Structure 1
Amino acid sequence: MSLGTAAPSGVTAAGVPVVDGIPFARTGREELQGRVADLLADGEVDRARVALFADADDWWTEPAPPAGQLAQVPAARTLREAMATLGMGRVGDYFAHRWSDPTHLAGLALLGRHWPGDAPVVDVACGIGTQLRELARRGVADLVGLDVVWSKLWLARRFVCPTARYVCADVTTAPDLQVDRPAYVTCHDAFYFFRDKAAAATAMARLAGPDGTVVVGHAHVADTVSAGQPLAPAEYAGLLGATVLYDDEELTRSLLERRPPRPAAAEELAGSEAIALVAGDLRGPAPVDLGEPLGPLRPNPLYTDGGLRWPSERYAAEYGPRSAHLPARWPDPLPADAARRRLLVDLPEQW
């Protein structure tokens, strides 16, 4: 099934409802798809949007906010305001401060070592498009974001990376994304949540094509906070057909130390908390240093009144011990590597 070309809101020839330019083709949500399609047929775009805002992934345990509250999301002036109105809680904390967390830095190091170049990119479980924004701002033009949560894609399109194309679907059952091959298929900080990892790996390889690239970043090995359903390094490598593996902490350190990351064998990574893997065409390094964020730069909002303040106890437990690049107090004067250490960050304009 191909999505074809759809209006900003409507139903495609294949019967997929589209709201605000984002198709909703998520498997297991057929009743919701039908309800949204009926609302669109009646010209009720606002109600269709609210129905999609209320949908969440299968790991989320909080109830959706009232419909009246969700109806106010489009009026939000900032990403944070929109996420608060959506009731995103701890996930909102994660997305709001993504630009300086160690897993994001590891992802940048991975991208920098295995750069897509002119290949089309599909970002699986792209969330609010943080990685897509990095690619777009550095000249990658053909970008597709795939996620099962429609509201995250709406946030990505509205606040983070409007130039990408977004589709709400599971990678294992996604419609034809109309992506040329060979493609660069990436999944960062999410693969360990997939319940059927073998099917996801097969689907990603199919999307990439025989000469394409599959890159999986921050796949949990240890069962820690937000670890999903982790696997051993050799199991991940076997599923993905990966030939290059990295320890996630090594990736973060390499970015901070301005050097290429060192790969490791699967047996060397048994004690890692999380790893990254590359399969297919390994490609070459990026022509620019992704360790240096693009401007305009702003002080990291994690600092208030001169001190590092985590947004929640949960966030502090997960990222605090892994964020040695962020000092406890705001340094004065700023060090020469303030941007590389993400004391200064390149937040979206309407952060």
Structure 2
Amino acid sequence: MTLAPPVPLVDGIPFARAGREDLRAEVAGLVAAGEPARARVLLLADADDWWTEPPPPAEQLARVPAARTLREAMDLLGMGRVADYFAHRWSDPTHLAGLALLQQHWPGRRPVVDVACGIGTQLRELARRGCTGLVGVDVVWAKLWLARRFVCPGARYVCADVTAVPGLTVPGTAVAGLDVPQPAYVLCSDAFYFMRDKPAAAAALHALAGPGGTVAVGHAHVTDPAGEPSTPEGYAAVLGADLLYDDGELTRALLEGRPPRPAAPAELHGSEAVALVAGDPRRPAPVDLGEPLPPLRPNPLYVDGVRTWPSDRYGAEYGPRSGYLPERWPDPLPPDAARRRLLVDLPEAW
């Protein structure tokens, strides 16, 4: 019998990603030899299976820990178009839709597992609103490193593919740091449509949530061709969800300060993306997530007073759905400047 390599811990983040056994063994060997810097470089070079760009040179990755800001670190990591999305996440319509979903289905005191958490944008929002027991899971170790360093240092992070964690279906199992008390609130935003084996992914989310738990999936593509989208009925069936929302409706609801209206699957066939909630729906949040918390800064999308998209790709995707951001910086600022994300609550070292 061949034993799996041990799960190495680098900078407080375990690396248990499936399909990377050789890399895991090499990293574990470097950690055991007292060479965490070399181990870190190997992990920072690892990307998800959808990424097509080669990793930066090792000497460039070695400079990442010295980066003073999130943007500088992402540049050294060679994150390209993904860096544009992460840097401006705080005002994009997808993020606002995710906040509206949380607003209507708030985890309260339950532990939260954010699957495919990226750089921890939503974990930061939860932490700043008083939620505890936060765990971020992603298959890309570099994204978790960014989350821990720059965005939400108070959460725990685990690099793993939840569909391939042995024993995950056993309640209370402690595998690769996924020892989360149940029932739990399991979040998966802007990622479920990328998961090729959706039944396995849905089963893993429910296993993490446990009996009486909640699974909230945000921004699952329907008509947008990116990833491997499904139909509203397909998502609802695989997740066992009976609460569905149009993504655009969620964004509008947050901007208008009202509860979002759920919809039947048949009403959502023309939606770009949908959100779904399965299990315990929970109650609405006792706070207004539409109002970002201070200190607030001017939205960096405005350059010399003009709304400037970081790339043509970003503008093509988000521009048509970002009408709440005027083309020019208004003077004076309107009373709802923060709700419309003219003012944003960026991480300190943005």
Q: Does the alignment pair 1:123 with 2:114?
A: yes
Structure 1: 5+ residue stretches without partners: 1-12
Cα distance, 1:42 vs structure 2? 1.1
1:203 alignment partner, SS class: helix
Tell me the equivalent position of 1:247: 246
Cα distance, 1:215 vs structure 2? 0.2
For the residues of structure 2 that align with 1:289 and 1:117, how far apart are their CA atoms? Answer: 14
Tell me the equivalent position of 1:4: none
Cα distance, 1:14 vs structure 2? 8.2
Tell me the equivalent position of 1:329: 328
* AA at the equivalent of 2:289: L
2:163 alignment partner, SS class: coil
Cα distance, 1:181 vs structure 2? 0.4
* 1:258-293 per-position Cα deviation (integer Å, ceiling 9, x unaligned): 100000000000110000000000000000000000
Tell me the equivalent position of 1:187: 188
* 1:46-95 per-position Cα deviation (integer Å, ceiling 9, x unaligned): 00000000000000000000000000000000000000000000000000
* AA at the equivalent of 1:336: P
For the residues of structure 2 that align with 1:270 and 1:318, how far apart are their CA atoms? Answer: 19
Aligned partner of 1:70 among 61, 70, 73: 61
Could you state the TM-score of these two structures normalised by the residue count of structure 1?
Answer: 0.95
For the residues of structure 1 that align with 2:295 and 2:159, how far apart are their CA atoms? Answer: 31
* AA at the equivalent of 1:306: G
Count of matched residue positions in the alignment of Structure 1 and Structure 2: 337
* Correspondence 1:8-27 to 2 at 5 A: 15-27=6-18
Tell me the equivalent position of 2:170: none
* AA at the equivalent of 2:101: L
Tell me the equivalent position of 2:256: 257
Tell me the equivalent position of 1:171: 162
Q: Does the CA-based 8 Å contact 2:6-2:25 persist in structure 1? A: no
Cα distance, 1:15 vs structure 2? 1.8
* AA at the equivalent of 1:198: P
RMSD across aligned C-alpha pairs, in angstroms? 1.0
1:278 alignment partner, SS class: strand
Structure 2: 5+ residue stretches without partners: 166-174
1:43 alignment partner, SS class: coil
Tell me the equivalent position of 1:85: 76
Could you state the TM-score of these two structures normalised by the residue count of structure 2?
Answer: 0.95
Q: Does the alignment pair 1:344 with 2:343?
A: yes
For the residues of structure 1 that align with 2:209 and 2:142, how far apart are their CA atoms? Answer: 26
For the residues of structure 1 that align with 2:200 and 2:121, how far apart are their CA atoms? Answer: 25
1:92 alignment partner, SS class: helix
Tell me the equivalent position of 2:294: 295
Tell me the equivalent position of 2:171: none
1:242 alignment partner, SS class: coil
Q: Does the alignment pair 1:107 with 2:108?
A: no
Q: Does the alignment pair 1:50 with 2:41?
A: yes
Tell me the equivalent position of 2:224: 223
* 1:119-145 per-position Cα deviation (integer Å, ceiling 9, x unaligned): 000000000000000000000011000
* 1:99-157 per-position Cα deviation (integer Å, ceiling 9, x unaligned): 00000000000000000000000000000000000000000011000000000000000
Cα distance, 1:223 vs structure 2? 3.1
Tell me the equivalent position of 1:140: 131
For the residues of structure 2 that align with 1:189 and 1:134, how far apart are their CA atoms? Answer: 16
Q: Does the CA-based 8 Å contact 2:5-2:25 persist in structure 1? A: no
Tell me the equivalent position of 1:210: 211
Cα distance, 1:243 vs structure 2? 1.1
* AA at the equivalent of 1:183: A
* AA at the equivalent of 1:69: Q
- Identity among equivalent positions (%) equals 76
2:162 alignment partner, SS class: coil
